Structures are given as C-alpha cells and as structure tokens.
Amino acid sequence: MTEKVAELGEFPLIDRLGQVLGREGRHPAGLDLGMGDDAALLQSRAGCQWAVTCDTLVEGRHYLPSYLTAFQLGRRAMAVNLSDIAAMGGQPRYALVALGLRGDTLVAEVEDWYRGFAAALNPWDAAIVGGNLTRVKGGQFISITLMGEVAVGRALRRSGASPGEVILVTGYPGQAAAGLRLLRQQGDRAGLEYHPLVQAYTSPVPRVAEGRVLAGSGLVSAAIDLSDGFLGDLGHLCAASGVGARLWAKQLPLSPALGAATVEWGDDPVQWFLGPSDDYELIATCAAEQAETVKAQLSAVSQVPVHQVGVLTDQPGCLELQDAGGSLSQLGIRGWDHFANGGQ
Amino acid sequence: MTEKVAELGEFPLIDRLGQVLGREGRHPAGLDLGMGDDAALLQSRAGCQWAVTCDTLVEGRHYLPSYLTAFQLGRRAMAVNLSDIAAMGGQPRYALVALGLRGDTLVAEVEDWYRGFAAALNPWDAAIVGGNLTRVKGGQFISITLMGEVAVGRALRRSGASPGEVILVTGYPGQAAAGLRLLRQQGDRAGLEYHPLVQAYTSPVPRVAEGRVLAGSGLVSAAIDLSDGFLGDLGHLCAASGVGARLWAKQLPLSPALGAATVEWGDDPVQWFLGPSDDYELIATCAAEQAETVKAQLSAVSQVPVHQVGVLTDQPGCLELQDAGGSLSQLGIRGWDHFANGGQ
C-alpha cells in the first residue's frame, strides 16, 4: 500500500489500473477494443450522433486532496464530464482519461481514482476505453474526454430558448460553493464528510437520467449544466439564445442546509444560489404551458426536485431579479473564470 | 502581441482561439455542433467504427520551449495523436484539446499552438471540436483526444501478427532521438532548424495515408506506431501477438544524417535506430509473399520509403539481431517509460 507510481513504472501501472477496471468497471457491447492498443475501437448506434466533451481538474486549482478522498476525487472528475453529456440529453458511453502524476504519488491512490471513475460511469454502462499517463513535477491533473450518444436531432443546445419561455432548474444550486466554504474554513474534511453542503461539493450527482428525459420530451428548447454558477450558466444560455431572463426571488429553491449556513454567516442565501458554484444541476427552458408536462415526465424517473424559477425576456444580456413586492434589480453575471479567479 | 492569458481571461481566450480555427481550420460535413456548447455533436458514417486515442505532452518532460517554436509544438502534439490513428488505419476526424496554461503565457503563443494543431489536422479535413482551458502554476501541458474512423473490421491492431511474417517499417527510425540530442547539446534550436535530424524531432509527419493503405489492403496482420522507440514498440507488437522477432542488421534503414552524426559521436547507428526515439513511423507485419504487394500499394500514394527489416519468430519475448555473417545477438527492449526515465 506504500508503493509509489515512480517505483512501479508506466506500463505496470497501466496494467494495475486495467485490473481495477476489469473488476469494477463495465465492458459495453459496442466496445470492440479497449485499452492496450494504439487506439480503442468503438461502434456507433444507428440513429444516434455523438456528444463529446472534455474537462480537466488541476490539483490546487480545482481541488485540494485534503477536501476529497481519492475515490471522491475520481468520481467527481467523471461527474463533471457526465454533467456536460447530461446537459445535451446524451447517454454516456466511453471515456478517455489523461493523468498527470507526481512520481511519489501512491499507486493505491491512483487506483482509488479509478474506482471513483468506474463508480460514476457504471450506472450508465459506460466505460473507460483509453487514456494517457504522464509524470509531472507540480500540481497533478485529471483530464477526461467523454463520449455520449443522443438520438439525431434530439440534443439539447444552449441556443434554442425564446422570450416568454420559463426557466426550470433541478435540485438546489449554491450548495457546492457553500460546502467548499466550510471545507476552506476548516482546512480539511475531518468531521464534515456527511454535511449536506459538503456532500454537494464532494459527491455531485450528474443529472444524466433527467437530461435524457428532457431531450426525449421534445418540449425543451435549451439546456445547460451548472458548472460556473447559476447566474453565470444562465447567462451563457441567454447569450447563446439571444434572450434575457427575469428570476422570481421567491421561487428560487434554497435548500434548508444553505439557509442554515447563510444565517450563521450573516449572508443572503440568494447570493449563494446565484453566484459561482459548481453544482452540476441542469437549467432547462420550455414553453410556459409545457412546464407541468416536463416536470411530470421528470418526476416519473427521478426524485430530484425541479423548480420553475423565472421567465425569459426579449432583452438580450439583461438578467434581473424580481422580489416579492414586484420590484426589479439588475444582476451582474458572476460565474467562474478559470484564469481571472484564484485557485482553491 | 504582449497580451498574457491571465489578462485576457478564459472566455475571451476561447473566442480568440475559435477565431484562429475559423480562419485556418476546417469544418467537416459531419460536424453538427462545434465549440461553444456543453458538448460537440458529431455524426458517424455508416459502415465505420471509431478509433479514439489520447496523448499528453508536458512542458519540461516531453518538450522544452527552447527546442520548438509554438507552431511546431502544436503541430507535433497533434501529430503524436494522428500517428496513433494512423497505426489503426483510421481517417482522423475530430480532436478535443485540453490545455494547462500559466497566467503569464502570451496569448499569441497559444494562438500559434492552435495554428500548429490546424496545420496537422487540415490535410485530413479533421477539426478541433472542443476542449478545456485551465490555469496551472508549474509545467504547461497539452492533452489531446483524437477520434478517427475506420471501416468496420479493417482496423490494424497490435495483436494479429504470426511467426514467419515479415516486418516492414516506414521511414528512418532513430532520427528523432538523434535530433533531440543535437538540441540538448546546444541547449536551443538556433541554427539547427533545418538540420534533418532536428526536423525529424520537431516536425514528424504522421503516416496517416500509409496507415489507411495498410488497413485497406487487407494484407497486413498487425501494426503499431513508433512513439517509444523501434525495439520498444516492436516489443509491444510482439507481446500482443505472442511472437518474437529477428531483425537483419544489414536491412535496417539508417539515414545518411544519422550515419554522419553517429560517426561524429563515435556511436553505433544501429543502437540509435533501435533505441528510445519517437519518430512516429509505422511498423507493419504481413505474410512474406505479400510484402511486395503491400509495398507497391504504399508507393502508389506515398513517397515514404518502406523497408523489410526482419521476420517474426515463434519465440515469444525473444528479440534478436542477425548480423551480416549470420550470427545472432539478443536484444533487450529499451523503450521509453514515462515514469522510469528522466525528463528532457
């Protein structure tokens, strides 16, 4: 258990990680050739197209090892990618994993990353089919490319929304940022593992089933996942669609845990809901008269609450918040910028 | 020209790189949605399967900026991936690029990486369809996932070779390692840009057209590209196929430039040919009686020389060299291990 990756070497390490996947991962029917050759070989399904995405987590910037177990880190890194496929309405299929590892990293730790990858992929019968291992001197990184399938013409884009449509959101945004604040305050995760806000940060559940229902419904005009923060990502959707948005303050789903924490901090929970936070929930838009149908279809497959939080307007670039008394305030977009913001 | 990526910010940088690709890259017919959404959307061609690969270059480990221009680095990073698709006999289609960038890196430099990516992809009408930008503090990295298409059942694997078959190789292996030695001796590229050995290192040409001919011929039993070194990669092919190999010393293609350099160094050029070197040439195996047909098919589409350098044996794990007098010596496999070896 104390063996380091530099002691084991590249090819034996690849073998060990392949053994983890052999025991704990899946081998989907369309996978003709997995790891071990120059490339993997994959079949496509008739009537489908591919949705492909790529996300990278860098140690010290996107995560600190003291906040997450190795298993949680692997599961979260894969969830970040699954969430992008979910936002397109896709079925996750195949992942490639590029790792940058320091030589003194424990082999057992990397094996736990792989257990986390498999745990995130297994519910969708998706599998790791390739990747790359390389040695780094500074911060380690995990870069994942994920391929998902979606029926031709059914994919959810950011660009299809129209004024007058309503805005739906799954779950309780803002919790991940609040959980990260708790971890930062304390400096590590000891005793915080089961705090609901910390779990929202360490163990996000990508809304893959929900995204597939949204795409399958044929009623949803646009969708995006929450990786930058509610306002930042809603802003991306509005920019792509050429619309504005008005949010109803009283309708925003604020979780009890977020409420309790913000009381303690003396903060406004609405600011935590709107601000930078990577919750991996989904925003979707649809005609107002279809909202109940969409929600009913979601509730048939998912326990995740869905709330109607606002309406799209014909004022591009304008995001505003309407309070209980009906007065409006302009909202500045404050999402996560990977260059302008500081690391963790 | 002095603007830094931290000054520009993530989303404007993505826009700028998208502009480079808009001007200098391709937009293949099967690409329904490129960069700018949660995922790209890609069509599959009937009768084809996907070959997917992933390779990462890390600054200080796989390259030094003083050895390569930014354009060369981008082109080489993509060539490394194109070579893997070539080794499967695939047609390159779509790439995703994950970059780790320091904040003080010049925007113009990253734009030149993208010009290099496009220059490598354009001959194959292939395109960058997504990726990820993140900030790092230490060594920068370029991690690319490349998807290629190959007719179902035609892909070249490492595992199909049989005893008695002959070993073919394209080009002149060993030159890249010799070029890297020249760069290391001097410490930078000044005045060495046009040296043939240095060009073999800075500007490898992936053998995509040749790989497609090899796969299309139906005569080739196995193939691999040279990324670790001739002996290391031949060893991978032999291990996957359960065979051994006997090389004929007099038949090894030693380039004049390698010959001249090794005379100066007092080295044996055969050791440079066999040893660690990433030349991105192809090794292929076929029945002895088909070798001339395969070579003729290659010469119809490619000027790259192809040599028959040995034969496969029924002694798994045994690689040997036969000299002009007929006597045999055992060869130890000495390829590149990304953890055991030092960086550049």
CB contact (8 A) between residue A52 and residue B38? no
pLDDT tens, position by position, A219-239: 999 999 999 999 999 999 999
Could you report the per-residue pLDDT of A79-122, keeping only the tens digit for each? 999 999 999 999 999 999 999 999 999 999 999 999 999 999 99
Strands A91-101 and A127-135: parallel
The answer to whether residue B341 scores a pLDDT higher than 80 is: no
Pairing of strands A166-170, A282-286: antiparallel
Put simply, whether A31 touches B (Cβ < 8 Å) is no
CATH superfamily of B7-151: PurM-like, N-terminal domain (3.30.1330.10)
Burial class (CB in 10 A: 0-12, 13-18, 19+), A16: middle
User: CB contact, 8 Å: B110 with chain A?
Assistant: no
Give B134's contacts in chain A (Cβ within 8 Å).
Answer: 56, 58, 61-62, 141, 338
Whether chain A has a CB inside 8 Å of the CB on B154: the answer is no
Q: Does A62 touch chain B (CB under 8 A)?
A: yes
Q: A160-188: buried (b, 16+ CB within 10 Å) or exposed (e) per residue? A: ebeeebbbbbbbbbbbbbbbbbbbeeeee
Output the CA–CA distances (angstroms, integers) from residue B71 to A87, A305, B77, in the order listed: 34, 49, 10
At residue B217, the 3 state secondary structure works out as helix
What per-residue confidence (pLDDT) applies to A334? Answer: 55
pTM of the model: 0.94
Contacts of B313 (CB under 8 A, 6+ apart): B163, B243, B244, B245, B246, B320
- A103 touches A4 (CB < 8 A): yes
* Cβ–Cβ under 8 Å, residues B276 and B229: yes
Residue partners of B51: CB distance under 8 A and separation at least 6: A38, A39, A40, A41, A42, B84, B85, B88, B90, B147, B148, B149, B150, B155
> What's the pLDDT at B1?
72
Fold for the domain defined by B166-330: Phosphoribosyl-aminoimidazole Synthetase; Chain A, domain 2 (3.90.650)
Query: Which chain B residues are closer than 8 Å to A17 by Cβ?
Result: none
Residue that has been written with the tokens 């993997």 in this structure: A40
Name the pairing type of β-strands A319-322 and A244-248: parallel
CA distance B205 to B217: 21
- Cβ–Cβ below 8 Å for A38 and B225: yes
pLDDT on residue A317: 87
Please give the mean pLDDT across all residues of chain B. 94
Neighbours of B310 (CB within 10 A): 24
Write out pLDDT tens, residues A15-44: 999 999 999 999 999 999 999 899 999 999
Interacting residues of B333 by C-beta distance below 8 A, sequence separation 6+: B231, B232, B235, B319
Q: What is the mean pLDDT of residues B237-256?
A: 97
Q: Which of B36, B134, B155 sits opposite A61 (nearest CB)?
A: B134
The residues that bridge with B225 in the sheet, in sequence order, are: B282
Asked if the Cβ–Cβ distance from A61 to B135 is below 8 Å, we say yes
For chain B, what are the domain ranges? 7-151, 166-330
Helices and strands, number each (H, E), in chain B: 11, 13
- Mean pLDDT for the stretch of residues A295-308: 97
Chain A, chain B: beta-carbon pairs less than 8 Å apart: 233
Is residue A129 within 8 angstroms of chain B, CB to CB?
A: yes
Determine the pLDDT at residue B185.
Answer: 94
Distances (CA, A) of A165 to A217, A235, A327, A338, B283: 16, 15, 21, 31, 58
Reduce the DSSP state of residue B263 to 3 states and report it: helix
pLDDT above 90 for B336? no
Here the tokens at position A87 are: 């936002």
Burial class from Cβ neighbours inside 10 Å (0-12, 13-18, 19+) for residue B59 reads: buried
Which residues on chain B are in Cβ contact (under 8 Å) with A10?
337-340
Q: Which residue of A has its CA nearest to B49?
A: A43
CA distance A307 to chain B (A): 22
Res B342: pLDDT: 42
Segment A256-280 shows an average pLDDT of: 96
What is the CB-side half-sphere exposure of residue A16 using CA atoms within 13 A?
A: 19
In percent, how much of chain A has pLDDT > 90?
A: 90
| pLDDT exceeds cutoff 50 at A288 | yes
With left for phi above 0 and alpha for psi between -120 and 50, is residue A326 left, alpha or beta? left
pLDDT at residue B294 above 60? yes
CA distance A1 to chain B (A): 19
The token pair at B75 is 């082109």
Burial environment of residue A52 by CB neighbours within 10 A (0 to 12, 13 to 18, 19 or more): buried
Tell me whether A41 touches chain B (CB under 8 Å): yes
Q: What percent of chain B has pLDDT over 70?
A: 97
Q: What is the pLDDT of residue A11?
A: 87
Inter-chain CB proximity A132 and B56 less than 8 Å: yes
Q: Is domain A8-151 annotated with CATH 1.10.3720.10?
A: no
Chain B's closest residue to A152, CA to CA, is: B43
**How far from A141 is each of B135, B343, B344, CA to CA, in Å?**
11, 18, 20
**Banded pLDDT at A338 (limits 50, 70, 90):** low
Mean pLDDT throughout B115-119?
Answer: 97
Residue B242, chain A, CB below 8 Å: the answer is no
A211 has a chain B CB within 8 A of its CB: no
Going from the C-alpha of A69 to that of each of A138, A159, A188, A313, the distances in angstroms are 20, 37, 11, 43
Angstrom distance (rounded) from CA B35 to CA B15 = 10
Nearest chain A CA: its distance from B54 CA (Å): 5
Residue B329: count of CB within 10 angstroms of its CB: 9
Of B125 and A324, more confident: B125
Helix (H, G, I), strand (E, B) or coil at B221: strand
The helix or strand, by DSSP H or E, that contains position B19, with its residue range, turns out to be helix B10-24
Identity at A241, one-letter amino acid code: S
